[in-house]
Chain A
Amino acid sequence: MNVDIQSLGTFNQLAHEGAQQATQSLAQMTGIDAAVDVTKITLLDRTDVGEALEGREFVGVQFEYEGVLEGDTVLVFEDESAETIADSMMPGASENPEMAQSAVKEIGNIMMSGFIDGWADYLDSTIDHSPPTYIEKSGSEVLPDAPDAGDHRQVFVFKSEIEWVGKSVNFYIYMLPEYEPLADAMVESADTDDDAIPIDKLQTFNEMTTSGTQQAADNVEMMTGIPTAAEVTQISFAPIEDVPKQIGTDTYVGTVVEFTGRPSGYLMVLFDEVSAVNVAEAMMPIGMDEDELTDQHKAAIEELGNIMTSGFVDGWANVLQTSVDHTPPRLVHDMGRSIVDPLAAQVGQQQEHAFIIDSTMRTDDIEFAAEIHALPNEQELRAALDDLDVERADQTEASVEQIFE
């Protein structure tokens, strides 16, 4: 089954407009000033859906829908903001749990009806949805079970993040469609197959990225002695101007390289400042016991970034059977978004949308998290996937298993 770039773009736009419509309904009913920050389509392992929500409490509404698309969708608010929303609809509602629930249900129903109707209109078909169910859970538990992937190992998820302007809380809309009806709808809406990507190969690519991330994590362990594990690996698709928003506005430390070959593009290895100091300390023979990031820390990060990059890129090159070279790493220490922005601009000279490959790794021993983000040239990635032969892809699977043995 093939999916073309254009229909990925269209579906992304559709989800974005739906989220915008939902946000406008919220603003009209409550006076809350909110804006849709990011909308993206992500292909990931079904068990990794909702990782970004960990550690927070949510309330919201869930709907089932069926018709041309089938599945579940949720709208969730961080629980603190839900109280404010309830009060803005019915003053004092947050004092009374029942009233608060019904306020959330009502606003959720109005927001999401617009979202679902927008999809049906575009697909020129009907999508029926169930009445809203109130939900109140923590982290990714707030999301419905990802659809059974069946023969497919991974699922598509549409995710919109809505920012409450001037506040540090967010709303999220997740739409988890069943695989087959979605794939059919995407194929229907495709104009040409000039730029088609076989979905199965996209999944294989995701798996090989996982193996690249594991290699990078092994390299961290080798350098620091700290057991480090690859966590989520996902491939997302978004308009080029949304690419920098994938990274937070906090300050990051890390390395950036340009890679050349097929595909070409950019690869970032980023640490938050606390993680950077912790991991750099672990690499030094004598602890500096400094909380501030020093030049020695930065030198250690540069070395580590280089080794992580090599591990990651080698993982790709092995499977694609191409050679992928990279420049020496450039050390960066700046606002996250401004690091990504020049790279997105470079890529944006040739393309309107981009694939973004994101991986994370973590360790339990110290406070440490690293993110790897790759921004490949879309046409070259498509060509490389086209050439990816299935036998070779099977070997990747075997090697992934070997790594985890």
Chain B
Amino acid sequence: MKVYDGSQSEETQNAKSKRLKVGIAEYDVTTEPTAMLTTSGLGSCIGIALYDEPTGAAGLVHIMLPTAEDVEGGNRAKFADTGVAELVDALEALGATRDTMRAKIAGGSDMLNFSENGSSIGTRNIEQVRATLDEYGIPITGEDVGGDHGRSLQLAVDSGDLVVKSANTESVVL
């Protein structure tokens, strides 16, 4: 019995591009040019990809809620404000600088917003991500946000390209 019958090409591809999975309320950074940072199932959550061309460092965080202000302790990567801060710190530890970091963001959909007054979590997440990136002086060079559908992301570390996939529409490359 062979283990990966007929999927030789897939294995070869995996060997070439190492997939680093980023879960909900998690982040990861790398300088490995063949790596691919991925995250899936973004609804109102947002994936923030930061890329620093001079060092080739890239990172991705999957945030769930706008701000850690109202919550004591807990996981910093869960929130837009502290999640971006963690990601910037981690990239700086790899030698990247804020001046040269560029951001691409996707997610923050309005799907299943039952709140009748006030803006949805998706909208508030987008606002907070923009505000925090602005504080750090990191420009947003590509975005696919809002709408009413889910998204999955793949960040190619060598190019900084962010592929946004949806269930019912064509993929977009940011």
Contacts and interface: CB of A to CB of B under 8 A. Distances in A.
Contacts of A258: 114
A397 to B, nearest CB: 34
A352 B114 CA distance: 21
Contact of B64 (A81, A256, A344): A344
Nearest to A338: B150
Interface string B53-82: 000000000001100001100110010000
Contacts of A27: none
A343 B115 CA distance: 11
Nearest to B121: A345
Contact of A335 (B19, B21, B167): B167
A130 interface: no
A334 B24 contact: no
B88 interface: no
Contacts of A341: 24, 41-45, 64, 150
Interface size class of A (residues with CB under 8 A): 35 or more
Nearest to B151: A338
A166 B14 contact: yes
Contacts of A35: 21, 23
Given A345-B65, A348-B64, A348-B65, A336 B121 contact: no
A231 interface: no
A245 interface: yes
B172 interface: no
A5 interface: no
Contact of B168 (A37, A327, A333, A349): A333
Contacts of A334: 43, 111, 149-150, 167-168
Interface in B90-112: 109, 111-112
Interface string A316-356: 00000000000100101111111111111110110010000
B25 to A, nearest CB: 4
B43 A340 contact: yes
Among B64, B120, B151, B166, max chain A CB count under 10 A is at B64
Contacts of B120: 342
A81 B4 CA distance: 10
B113 interface: yes
Interface in A140-183: 163, 165-166
A80 B3 contact: yes
A35 B19 CA distance: 12
Among B41, B42, B114, B149, max chain A CB count under 10 A is at B41
B122 A342 contact: yes
A337 B111 CA distance: 12
A83 B2 CA distance: 9
A332 B166 CA distance: 14
Contacts of B20: 165
Contacts of A332: 111-112
Contact of B3 (A84, A266, A339, A342): A84
B40 interface: yes
B146 to A, nearest CB: 13
Nearest to A351: B71
Contacts of A333: 167-168
B26 to A, nearest CB: 8
Given A256-B112, A345-B64, A352-B74, 17 more contacts: A166-B14, A241-B25, A258-B114, A266-B114, A332-B112, A334-B167, A337-B43, A338-B41, A338-B149, A340-B43, A341-B41, A341-B64, A342-B112, A344-B64, A345-B65, A346-B114, A346-B121
19 contacts: A94-B3, A241-B23, A241-B24, A242-B24, A327-B114, A334-B111, A334-B150, A335-B40, A338-B150, A339-B112, A340-B41, A340-B43, A341-B42, A342-B43, A342-B44, A342-B112, A344-B64, A345-B45, A348-B64
